[in-house]
């Protein structure tokens, strides 16, 4: 069983070419042409795409690690992974607040991305251990915290670069790309982690039988998971130079950033108006 068929690559290239050709001729393209010409928006969503591709795969890897290498139950694995989404939820609003107070808020995303990527590299040391320690919990928390300082500022940046009448389209475009990145992230994890495994073992693991591995099989799988985490870190780090471009664009347009109402303020304004009616 092969989880990567090279014969599909030409088909993907042909499909991509046909899509571009159809978009260029359409009067109502899926990808809004004004948004594509907006460098600030493009840089913001491309940078976020790199970060999220490297971020989404981490929970996927750690789920397999906790259940197949550490022999945890699915519930126990979920509890061990929980620090990541908890830290993400706590840091997301903080990242949004910081965005509204900085001239070049992309700096926050750069720092958050570096913290997350370095923490992912640190997790590779745990892959061969059958007894994860609290340092794994701490690293997962740092990955989530770093992701929180990437997510909110990046989405806010993409929307700030667009006109108000295009923000709905911009938001939809950004989230479409994010969901595509989720699929790409999982594909990278499976491909990298399965590269050195026998086909029978690949099918056994990724079709549901992730427990009961022999010692030699567990060692091979742990090595594959470690390489998958490194791949996630590399993809995340590839987004850092793009965030530098985002920061440059933010610096050039800082007056627009100061005069355009914040996304948070626009959401809160109706509630204020409603309270005045009372």
* Rounded Cα–Cα distance for residues 152 and 92 (Å): 6
pLDDT at site 197: 75
pLDDT at site 254: 57
According to the CATH classification, is domain 33-256 in 1.25.40.420?
A: no
Closest to 226 in 3D by CA, of 124, 116, 119, 133: 124
Residue 191 has pLDDT above 80, yes or no: yes
pLDDT at site 139: 92
pLDDT at site 238: 92
The first and second tokens of residue 172, run together, are 């939809």
Q: Where are the domains of the chain?
A: 33-256
pLDDT greater at residue 21 or residue 197: 21
Alpha carbon 207 to its chain's center? 24
Q: Which residues contact 48 (CB under 8 A, 6 or more apart)?
A: 150, 151, 154, 155, 158, 174, 177, 178, 239
Closest to 224 in 3D by CA, of 208, 243, 202: 202
pLDDT tens-digit profile of 235-269?
999 999 999 999 888 887 755 555 445 444 444 44
pLDDT at site 15: 86
* Rounded Cα–Cα distance for residues 248 and 144 (Å): 26
pLDDT greater at residue 266 or residue 25: 25
pLDDT tens-digit profile of 40-96?
899 999 999 999 898 888 988 888 888 878 888 889 989 999 999 999 999 988 888
Taking residues 119-144, report their average pLDDT.
86
């Amino acid at each position: 069983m092969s989880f990567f068929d090279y014969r599909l690559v030409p088909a993907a290239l042909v499909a991509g070419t046909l899509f571009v050709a159809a978009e260029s001729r359409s009067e109502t393209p899926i990808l809004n042409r004004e948004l594509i010409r907006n460098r600030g928006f493009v840089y913001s969503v491309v940078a976020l795409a790199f970060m999220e591709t490297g971020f989404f795969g981490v929970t996927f890897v750690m789920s397999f690690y906790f259940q197949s290498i550490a022999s945890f139950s699915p519930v126990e694995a979920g509890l061990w992974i929980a620090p990541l989404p908890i830290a993400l939820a706590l840091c997301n609003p903080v990242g949004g607040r910081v965005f509204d107070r900085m001239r070049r808020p992309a700096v926050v995303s750069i720092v958050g991305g570096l913290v997350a990527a370095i923490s992912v590299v640190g997790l590779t040391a745990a892959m061969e251990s059958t007894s994860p320690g609290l340092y794994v919990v701490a690293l997962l928390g740092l990955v989530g915290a770093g992701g929180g300082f990437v997510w909110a500022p990046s989405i806010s940046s993409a929307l700030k670069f667009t006109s108000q009448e295009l923000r709905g389209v911009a938001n939809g475009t950004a989230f479409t790309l994010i969901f595509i990145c989720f699929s790409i992230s999982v594909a990278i994890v499976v491909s990298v982690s399965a590269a050195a495994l026998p086909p029978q073992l690949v099918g056994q693991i990724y079709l549901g039988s992730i427990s009961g591995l022999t010692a030699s099989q567990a060692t091979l799988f742990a090595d594959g998971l470690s390489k998958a985490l490194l791949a996630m870190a590399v993809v995340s780090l590839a987004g850092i130079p793009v965030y530098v471009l985002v920061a440059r664009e933010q610096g050039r347009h800082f007056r627009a950033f100061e005069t355009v109402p914040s996304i948070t303020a626009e959401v809160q304004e109706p509630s204020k108006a409603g309270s005045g009616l009372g």
